[in-house]
Structure 1
Amino acid sequence: MAQEALLVIGDNLYPGDEGFIDPVSSEWTHNPEFSVDELIGLMDSKEQWEAWLEREIEDYQDIRGLAYYHDLKCNPIRNPIILSYVNGKYYIWDGWHRVAAAIAGGRETIPAYIGQIIQ
């Protein structure tokens, strides 16, 4: 799981950012049924997540294709999102679109890799 996190450094979080942890020296767990309710608060509301996803679809459909977004919205999410958990707060390293699709689709859970600093 640390390898997965190493691959996405700089996609959404950079060293020095709030929520960044060293993937190699952190403890990682896999939760195949992570509650999406834990992430709704990263935006102001469920509606804000839905609106953000719709803007992303408009802006990037030429690059990713509508099939990518249709798959996210209509099929089970297979690839775990990557999160860090720092000082009682979750940070998304990878998986913003998957989280938004899960929230917009009314899903209660999503697979996740979660990293925490080893105390």
Structure 2
Amino acid sequence: MEYALLIYGDEKVWAAQTEDELRELAARHERFVRMLDERGAMRGGRELAPVSAATTLRRRGEDVSVTDGPFAETAEVLGGFYLIEAADLDEAMELAARMPEGVVEIRPVVPVRESAG
């Protein structure tokens, strides 16, 4: 089953990191990806742009509104994600526990349903 490992953190903390700290964090993520690759669990993942680059679209019936910024104002924001393959939630949690940083939300990915047509 596929799981999304959603990485949350404080953008102010991320922005305050030194170049050395950023290099070390990148190296830790590279080691994490290698571990996922070695286990055959890596399916994808990306870092996200800051929430200041976000656009939120809200639909209510036929009405659509667009606003700059994230869906919710909060200290912890979604900073990136990994898409992994794991046998079950226990294995997904074991892999997520090796994440090099932040708060990690583990969310099962709903399989694509084939059309009946």
TM-score, structure 1 length as denominator? 0.27
Query: Highest Rg: 1 or 2?
Result: 2
TM-score, structure 2 length as denominator? 0.27
Decide which structure has greater strand share: 2
Decide which structure has greater helix share: 1
